Structure 1
Amino acid sequence: MTVEPEDAKKEKSGKGGGLRESLFLLVCGVVVALLLQVFVFQSFYIPSESMERTLVEGDRVVVNKLHGDSERGDIVVFEGWNNEHTIKRVIAVGGDTVKCCDAKRRITVNGIPLDESSYLYSEDFPSGDPFEKIVPEGRLWVMGDHRTASADSRAHEERLGEGSIPESDVIGRAVAIYWPFSRATILSRPESFLKVR
């Protein structure tokens, strides 16, 4: 029968315990990351130019799935008209009257003109075709920032809700661009929307 010094026993049990603890922490970290992915945050890839200049093709965004009610100016990911994940900007919410365009060719919401210069594609205009809609309660009027390249609410007016989407179809609000790293930024609501009542 062999006998080991007391110090050697402590050293061996410490190594095994440290490995088990590290594995446990690693598994916990993976589980937490998966839960966050499923219930709180999700990553989405931007496949087209419809949200330029805010989002360009190839950007990756983080979407907050616990966003609460969507507000005017939010960039949201939703189950689109063709049952695909779609990303657009909320221009008007339920009960709003959205119209294009006023005498200065600006979109108005409840009679308030929007200053879209901070996000609208630089060579674009608010809308090629005039429209005026009262957004039904529980629905959203959404548009891309690159209006001539965006199949948004204007392109689906013949559908239920006259182009608007159900709030319940919203997956979450885009909160940041995280890739490519050179374009990483927080996505905030433009100030122009704060004037709308």
Structure 2
Amino acid sequence: MAVGARSGREPEGGSGRPEDESAEHADGPGGSGQDDGPDGGRSKGKRRIPFWLEIPFLIVIALGLALLIKTFLVQAFSIPSESMQNALQKGDRVLVDKLTPWFGGEPERGEVIVFHDPDGWLANEPVTEPNSVQRFLSFIGLMPSSEEKDLIKRVIGVPGDTVECNGTGPLKVNGKALDEPYVFPGNTPCSPDDGGGKFKVTVPDGKFWVMGDHRQSSLDSRYHQNDENAGMVPADEVVGRAIVVAWPPTRWSTLSVPDTFDQPGLNAALGAAPGVLGLAGAVPLVLWRRRVTARRTDG
């Protein structure tokens, strides 16, 4: 007889194992296929919660996430006027990045920002009283807030900049004339009137000079130079940067920074600072390297 061969006839099915052995492996010691409960009976399977009972829980989670996103990440705002035409039309809905300011980021030239009313800029503007549903949807960020007095303008000057204009323009930043393709067609860069067409200001730390793209229809920094901020927008009043036109779908677009703010020489007043700082940081490194090299040579 060959080594390893079984004597006798194998059971049907070719398992090669006795029926009682296979039954023991399938059902366990009890032979039932289920674990016995503590009282010797069979344990019952867990019942699944019906979906309709999970709906309120899912709604609470969804609303919590919406509130979290609105508070820290992105919020929708409605454009109430024509002051930012043609980049933004009245009735547009924009999404505003609220995350960047939390990490210390500040607005840059050319960005479109939303900010709280600095000092009564909207004092004479009517506010529509929202109903309870609108108030709730605004609270969780699914609708733009109609109660908060917020404005949207383009940043022209950042701390340290000198912004000036005489008559109809051009608008200058640090002595460089800006080519502004975003200005509303037919408008001049500044207004011909004395109130908003002639100014020269230096932006202090922590504040920004803002202007609307529809220059002859925007009561911006030019017309509030007598307020407590001299027409500037304090950094702590900035909600965030408008990044996308989200509604209506036919108006969907991103709000990028125009190339005019990348022209050479615009940062002339601050252009030497990086080089000086780089040199100051390199000197200790070079001295340390020379000292290490000298020690190795002496050794």
Scaled to the shorter chain, the TM-score interval is 0.7 to 0.9
Higher relative contact order (CA 8 A, sep 6+): 1
1:175 lines up with 2:212 in the alignment? no
Correspondence for 1:98 among 141, 147, 163: 163
Which is greater in Rg? 2
Runs of at least 5 residues in structure 1 that lack an aligned partner in the other structure:
1-5
RMSD between superposed Cα atoms in Å: 2.3
Q: How many residues align?
A: 186
**Structure 1 residue 19 displacement after superposition:** 5.4
Q: Distance in 2 between matches of 1:38 and 1:183?
A: 25
Correspondence for 1:127 among 170, 190, 198: 190
DSSP 3-state at the match of 2:62: helix
DSSP 3-state at the match of 1:37: helix
2:222 aligned residue: 154
Q: Distance in 1 between matches of 2:207 and 2:256?
A: 21
Deviations 1:14-42 (A, max 9, x none): 4x265566654443232111110122211
Alignment of 1:24-39 (within 5 A): 24-39=57-72
Q: Distance in 1 between matches of 2:77 and 2:247?
A: 10
Runs of at least 5 residues in structure 2 that lack an aligned partner in the other structure:
1-33, 35-43, 123-148, 192-196, 268-299
Which shows bigger deviation, 48-57 or 17-26?
Answer: 17-26
Deviations 1:27-81 (A, max 9, x none): 3232111110122211111110001011110101111112321111111111123
1:66 lines up with 2:99 in the alignment? yes
1:46 lines up with 2:90 in the alignment? no
Correspondence for 1:13 among 40, 47, 59: 47
Using the aligned pairs only, state the percent identity: 43
The code of the aligned residue for 1:138 comes to G
2:172 aligned residue: 108
Deviations 1:89-131 (A, max 9, x none): 00001110001149x93211111221111x1101111101121
1:136·1:161 contact (CA, 8 Å) conserved in 2? no
1:141 lines up with 2:178 in the alignment? no
Q: Distance in 2 between matches of 1:138 and 1:186?
A: 27
The code of the aligned residue for 1:155 comes to Y
Q: Distance in 1 between matches of 2:205 and 2:106?
A: 12
**Structure 1 residue 161 displacement after superposition:** 3.2
TM superposition score normalised by structure 2? 0.57
**Structure 1 residue 194 displacement after superposition:** 1.9
Question: Runs ≥4 in structure 1, deviation > 4 angstroms?
Answer: 17-26
Q: Distance in 2 between matches of 1:136 and 1:30?
A: 40
1:76 aligned residue: 113
2:270 aligned residue: none
Specify which structure has the higher proportion of helix.
Answer: 2
TM superposition score normalised by structure 1? 0.85
1:101·1:108 contact (CA, 8 Å) conserved in 2? no
DSSP 3-state at the match of 1:27: helix
DSSP 3-state at the match of 1:13: coil
